[in-house]
Amino acid sequence: MRANRKEHKRLKVHRALFFCSVLILAACRQSYEPPAIKAPNKYLVVEGVMNANAGERTTIKLSMTRNLLDTFITDPVTSAQVQIEARSGTGYQLQEQAGGTYISDPLTLNAGETYRLKIRANGDEYLSDYVPVKITPAIDSLNWRQNDDVTIYVSTHDPTNNARYYRWDFTETWQYRAEYETILGVQNGLIFYRDANTQVYNCWRYADATQIALGTSVKLSEDVINQAPVTQIPKGSPRLGVRYSILVRQYALTEDAHKYWEILKKNTQSLGTLFDAQPGQLRSNLYKTSDPDEPVIGFASASSVTEKRMFISNGELTNWTSLDPKPDCQLQFTPQDPNNYLIYKYPDTAYAPYYFVTGGGIALARKACLECTWHGGTNQKPSFW
C-alpha cells in the first residue's frame, strides 16, 4: 500500500511539473514581427492622369502608404495643393474634394506642350518630370468569351502609329435582386406600397478596376491591339447573375510609363510561384524635392482618354448560377391589427412585411431576403441602364 501511495504521489509530481513546463513555454513564446512590418515609413501615393480631352476635368487622388500592421484601409492626404504646370509656365490649380481627391476645372491641354504635376502635401513639395501629351485612339470593340470564367477583351488601333503603349482601367456595374419581391414597406409603424423609386427588388453595385491591364504593339509593323484581355469574371460570380455592364477607359502611354506599370503589375499580380516574374524596382517620375531618393508611388502621365461600354445578360451565358450563399428566408406570420390593417408592430426588426395573407394576416421575411439594399447596392437604376 505504501509503495502504491509513493507511486501515486510521484505521478502527481510529474504531472504538476509537466503542466508548469507548458505554462512557462507558453509565457515565453513571442510572435516574431520583422522590422519591415513595424517600419514607420510613409510614402506619397499619386493616382490619376492629366486628362487631355478638350474641356475635361483632371482628377488626382493622394494618399500615403500604410504600414502592414495598420488597421485602416486608406490614408488619404487632405489639405494639399495640387497643380498642373506647363513648361511654358501656365498653371492649373486642382480643388480639393472629399477623401484626398483633387479635381481641376474643365481645361484643354495643348498636344504640343509638356506638363508636370506640382504637389505640396504634409509640408513637403513633390514634382513630376515634364511629360508629353499622348493622343489615345478610339476603342474599336469590346467583346467577351465564356470558358467557365468570362474574359473581356478590348481591340484598338492607331492609324498614325503613334500610341503603341496602352493601359486600360474600367468601372463595373451589375444588377442583382433580392430573394423575394415585395411591394410593401414600413415607415413610422405603418405599411405603405412601394413605387418605382422605393422598390427594393432590383439593385445595382459598382466597382473600379483592381488589376492592371496593359498592351503594346511595338513588335508589330502597325499599331494594332487585337483581343487584349482587360478583366476576368470567375464562374458563378454574382456580377453576372442578372445583367452586367463594364465601362472600359483606354490611355496611351509613353514607353517609360508603360515600363512603370509593367513592373507594378509584376510586383502585385504575378508572384505566385518561383517561376513567376520576380519583384522589380519601381522608377517613378515623381520625386520629393527635399529628398529625391525617397520613394513616391505613382507615375505622372498626360493623355486623352477614350472609353466604351458593353453589357452582358445572364441569359447569354451557359450554366451561370451565382455561388454566393443564400440568406435564411423562412417565412414568419403575424396577425393584422383589427383597427387598421396597415399598422405594423412585429417586434423583431430583422423582419419586414412580404405580403398580405388571403383571409387575414401578414407574411414576413428577413429584410436580407426582401431588400436588395441590405447587400450594399443602390435601388436607383443608373442612367445608362
Kindly report, residue by residue over 214-250, the tens digit of the pLDDT. Answer: 999 999 999 999 999 999 999 999 999 999 999 999 9
User: 264, 285, 266: which is closest to 275 by C-alpha?
Assistant: 266
Residue 68 has pLDDT above 70, yes or no: no
Which of 26-30, 102-106, 330-334, 366-370 is least confident?
26-30
In this predicted structure, the answer to whether residue 279 has a pLDDT above a threshold of 80 is no
* pLDDT for 70: 54
Predicted TM-score (pTM) of the model is: 0.85
Q: What is the pLDDT of residue 24?
A: 40
37 membership: H or E segment, kind and range? helix 35-38
- pLDDT beyond 60 at 23: no
Q: Which residues pair with 293 in a beta bridge?
A: none
- 213 close to 230: Cβ distance less than 8 angstroms: yes
Higher pLDDT, 140 or 325: 140
Q: What is the pLDDT of residue 325?
A: 87
Strand partners, 375: none
pLDDT of res. 191: 98
pLDDT of residue 271: 55
Q: Domain 34-128+255-300, what fold?
A: Immunoglobulin-like (2.60.40)
pLDDT at 41: 76
pLDDT at 269: 80
Q: Which three cell numbers stand for residue 48?
A: 490619376
**Residue 8 pLDDT:** 47
Distance CA(137)–CA(328), nearest Å, equals: 50
pLDDT band at 159 (very low <50, low <70, confident <90, very high): very high
What is the pLDDT averaged over residues 284-294?
97
Burial class (CB in 10 A: 0-12, 13-18, 19+), 35: exposed
Q: What is the Cα–Cα distance from 264 to 295, expressed in whole angstroms?
A: 14
- The model's pLDDT over 353-383, given as tens digits with 9 standing for 90+, comes to 999 999 999 999 999 999 999 999 999 999 9
Mean pLDDT of the chain: 89
Res 276 pLDDT > 80: no
3-state DSSP assignment of residue 373: helix
The pLDDT of residue 18: 46
The residue that leads in pLDDT, 55 or 281, is 55
Which has the minimum average pLDDT: 94-108, 218-232, 238-252, 269-283? Answer: 269-283
163-204 pLDDT, tens digit per residue, is 999 999 999 999 999 999 999 999 999 999 999 999 999 999
Report pLDDT for 11.
46
Least confident range from 95-104, 245-254, 323-332, 374-383: namely 323-332
